[in-house]
Amino acid sequence: MRLSYWLQKLGIAVFSSLPLTVLYVLADFLFLINYYLVGYRKKVVRNNLQKSFPNRSASELLHIEKDFYRYLSDQLVETFKTFRMSERDFGKRVEVLNPEVMNAIADRAQHVVHLLGHHANWEWYAKALALRTRHWLFFVYKPLNNKGFNTLMKQMRERFGVKAVAMKDVFRTIDAHLDRPHASFFGGDQSPMAHNRFIWMPFMHQPTAVYLGAEDIAKKYNAAVVFGKMRRVKRGYYTIELQLITDTPNETAFGEITQAHTRLLEELLEEQPQYWLWSHKRWKLQPDKHPAHATA
């Protein structure tokens, strides 16, 4: 693992030292290879798009599909560039439109459960917020099987004071930091495991299993719930719009928070469909085979 780690670190150091203008040329080349030769999960992408946009024409779906694969290459090179980006770079490339939403919550020393989707460059998301908000931030992630690469990704995610926390350590980390207002970042569009707590609800014209973990955490710690819409403005430039779902989670009905953030994500996908992770097997659970494991 040690040799593999250092080789990967060297490769990333060389790659991330290149300017984004050069990396985008490489991304264009990667798109051609991936889309026309490799076809990474193309069947999954097409099936997801067809079921999610039943009212769109075949030509529209093909256009979204190609744009998705182009962006997938862009997102890859942008992620590796993150290792060498400065605070000034993030300030220039990611604009947080309304940081006062988070800062008002920090003023009353309330914790935040912060939800986002795998839309646009989610790896830039928490770092941009860290530079403009007053909460202590930690990013919840699923560890990679490659230990060396997982270590490098964790280092990248922890730039600018963000702490990367494995999913299994979430509650322990929160309990250890209750003395200061913190915001925990969750991907609200992950496909749950069959044994997880989830509910069934319509999402993108399909019955969808939606994980209840973020809602459970918000209610346990009386944390405000914020959803973030990250939009791509142009190549390498983004905006983040924050939307408060609730700051009184224990006054909400069972499933209300989960349904609210899922609806907000759906609105974003209707607006900018090409920037979501369509290669993800989001609908692998089916209601006829996997009953919901959740009670109020």
Per-residue pLDDT of the chain (296 residues; tens, 9 = 90+): 577 767 777 778 788 899 999 999 999 999 999 999 999 999 999 999 999 999 999 999 999 999 999 999 999 999 999 988 999 998 899 999 999 999 999 999 999 999 999 999 998 998 899 888 888 888 888 887 778 777 877 888 878 888 888 888 888 988 988 888 889 998 989 899 888 899 999 999 999 999 999 999 999 999 999 999 999 999 999 999 999 999 999 999 999 999 999 999 999 999 999 999 999 999 999 999 998 877 66
Whole-prediction pTM value? 0.92
In DSSP terms, 113 is beta-bridged to 184, 225
Task: Name which of 17, 9, 158 is nearest 85 in CA terms.
Answer: 17
Return the pLDDT at 296.
Answer: 62
Return the pLDDT at 10.
Answer: 79
Residue 41 in domain: yes
Residue 236 in domain: yes
Return the pLDDT at 126.
Answer: 87
Residue 295 in domain: no
pLDDT digit string, tens, across residues 68-93: 999 999 999 999 999 889 999 988 99
Cβ neighbours of 275 (radius 10 Å): 25
Residue 290 in domain: no
Residue 282 in domain: no
Beta strands 224-234; 237-246: pairing state: antiparallel
Residue 142 in domain: yes
Return the pLDDT at 35.
Answer: 97
Output the 3-class SS for the chain.
Answer: CHHHHHHHHHHHHHHHCCCHHHHHHHHHHHHHHHHHHHCCCHHHHHHHHHHHCCCCCHHHHHHHHHHHHHHHHHHHHHHHHHHHCCHHHHHHHEEECCCHHHHHHHHCCCCEEEEECCECCHHHHHHHHHCCCCCEEEEEECCCCCHHHHHHHHHHHCHHHCEEEEHHHHHHHHHCCCCCCEEEEEECCCCCCCCCCEEEEEECCEEEEEECHHHHHHHHHCCEEEEEEEEEEECCEEEEEEEEEECCHHHCCCCHHHHHHHHHHHHHHHHCHHHECCCCCCCCCCCCCCCCCCCC
Return the pLDDT at 292.
Answer: 87
Amino acid at 20: L
Residue 286 in domain: no
Return the pLDDT at 1.
Answer: 57
Return the pLDDT at 43.
Answer: 97
Domain boundaries, position 228: 2-275
- Angle among Cα 133, 135, 137 to the nearest 5 degrees reads 100
Residue 43 in domain: yes
d(CA 37, CA 115): 35
d(CA 242, CA 12): 32
pLDDT digit string, tens, across residues 256-271: 999 999 999 999 999 9
**Count of domains forming the chain:** 1
